Structure 1
Amino acid sequence: MTDIDGIDPSVPPSGSGCASCDAVGGWWFHLRRCAQCGNVGCCDSSPAKHATAHFRETGHPLVQSFEPGEEWYWNYATSELFEAGPELAAPVSHPADQPAPGPAGRVPDDWAKVLRA
């Protein structure tokens, strides 16, 4: 099951948070990890939607949740959810003490209102 197009289980994640958000001092709701290159991006409920942007820029179709305790995959190309798949290189989630939304100190007090806007 490790020879699936779009999945490279040997590639580690790019970091513990969305690198694109980190570069501009942004924040995220939840994180997604590209199963092909390891890029960690923020989810579509996040203000910047960097995981989807990564798919559009690279064509890498599969992401796995980068949230503790979640193993599901999403295929952007087919809009399919998979409850599980190959185990990717560690770590498989952001640190458990990193809050969601996160990172700590950058999330606005009215974050829920911001996400509904």
Structure 2
Amino acid sequence: MTQSNNWHDPDLNMIRDVVAHTSDGCEGCLALGTRWEHLMLCLTCGYVGCSDGSPMRHARHHAERSGHPIVQSLHAGDNWRWCFVHDAQICTPYPATGARVVAPSLVPGPSDDLRHGLRIAKSQ
């Protein structure tokens, strides 16, 4: 159920100041040795998980287990957030939440990292 641009997601109050737990990729895929297609940042705790387009769908599983509903794309050039509870994109400009997100953007990894897809660029 995709909502209109003027819809106010009731889960926005779950967004916190977050720092990405890792800059190496999907936490679940790294632990299992599986690959990912797209990375998402949990805006409640900083968990980095793979999207629904990835085989393991760790971002969604994290949202279901933890009750943390909103993620932000970590793919370079993306500027969107998603609410798993409402299966809706949160359109920009984002409503003011007071939260600060610290997450590096994505860059293609070296050839030996291709089995994992893209990885997050290391922070300076």
> Which interval holds the TM-score relative to the shorter structure?
0.7 to 0.9
Percent same amino acid among aligned pairs? 35
Counterpart check, 1:89 vs 2:98: no
Counterpart check, 1:48 vs 2:56: yes
Match of 1:14 among 16, 21, 24: 21
Q: How many angstroms does 1:80 deviate by?
A: 1.4
Letter paired with 1:93: S
Report how many residues are paired: 101
8 Å Cα contact 2:14/2:43 also seen in 1: yes
Structure 2: how far apart are the matches of 1:97 and 1:29? 11
Counterpart check, 1:98 vs 2:97: no
Q: TM-score, normalised by structure 2?
A: 0.71
Please state whether the residue corresponding to 2:49 is helix, strand or coil. strand
**Paired position in structure 2 for 1:112:** none
Q: How many angstroms does 1:76 deviate by?
A: 0.7
Summarize the Cα distance change of 1:89–1:107 in structure 2 as closer, same or farther, 3 Å threshold.
closer
**Paired position in structure 1 for 2:4:** none
For the aligned residue pairs, the C-alpha RMSD in angstroms reads 2.4
Q: How many angstroms does 1:60 deviate by?
A: 0.5
Q: How many angstroms does 1:6 deviate by?
A: 1.4
**Paired position in structure 2 for 1:28:** 36
Runs of 4 or more above 4 Å deviation = none
Q: How many angstroms does 1:97 deviate by?
A: 3.6
Q: How many angstroms does 1:53 deviate by?
A: 0.3
Q: TM-score, normalised by structure 1?
A: 0.74
Question: Structure 1 or 2: larger strand share?
Answer: 2
